[in-house]
């Protein structure tokens, strides 16, 4: 996951000017460790920067997704959300309970995808897949809860 400095560098590498407002939004973003919604972001931002309007925030989100600083994550169990991005091709493990997201820095399906793409005559493809489940912490927490209610 990008640190605030890496986010800043990435944006500047694309020749995008970091206005004070965009900088403030980046700072707020860097505080999120898991998945978040636009509403979460808006709430946090309003606390520290009530002057930044909705339109500015939405434009910044669009920009950051395009630059890869932010990634949109699809979820089966809840609405789509955002996470702080990472460089390079990777996949995601998402906890459906606490919203933790891990970037998995390897592609277990690379060869199969390449073969399929070639066979179908496609080129310049991108693919993504995300795995949703319970993280170890949540699983242990749930097991504890269960054993408590059962009086064990």
Residues that bind Zn ion (CB under 5 A): 71, 86, 95, 97-98, 100, 103, 107, 135, 138
Min dist CB 95 to Zn ion, Å, is: 3
Element (H, E) at 8: helix 4-13
The residue among 33 and 48 lying less far from Zn ion, judged by its C-beta, is 33
In whole angstroms, the minimum distance from the beta carbon of 18 to Zn ion comes to 22
Q: Which is nearer to Zn ion, 39 or 109 (CB)?
A: 109
Q: What is the DSSP letter of 42?
A: H
Least distance between Zn ion and beta carbon 112 (Å): 10
Identity of the residue, 136 or 152, whose beta carbon is nearer to Zn ion in the bound complex: 136
């Amino acid at each position: 996951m990008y640190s605030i400095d890496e986010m800043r560098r990435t944006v500047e590498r694309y020749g995008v000017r970091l206005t004070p407002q965009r900088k403030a939004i980046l700072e707020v973003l860097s505080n999120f460790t898991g998945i978040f919604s636009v509403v979460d972001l808006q709430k946090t931002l309003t606390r520290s920067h009530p002057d930044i309007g909705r339109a500015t925030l939405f434009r910044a989100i669009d920009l950051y997704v395009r630059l890869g600083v932010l990634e949109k994550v699809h979820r089966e169990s809840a609405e789509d959300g955002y996470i702080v991005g990472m460089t390079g091709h990777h996949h995601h493990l998402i906890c459906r309970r606490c919203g933790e997201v891990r970037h998995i820095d390897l592609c277990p399906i690379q060869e199969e995808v390449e073969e399929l793409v070639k066979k179908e005559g496609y080129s310049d493809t991108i693919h993504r897949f995300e795995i949703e489940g319970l993280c170890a912490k949540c699983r242990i927490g749930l097991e504890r809860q269960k054993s408590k209610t059962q009086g064990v």
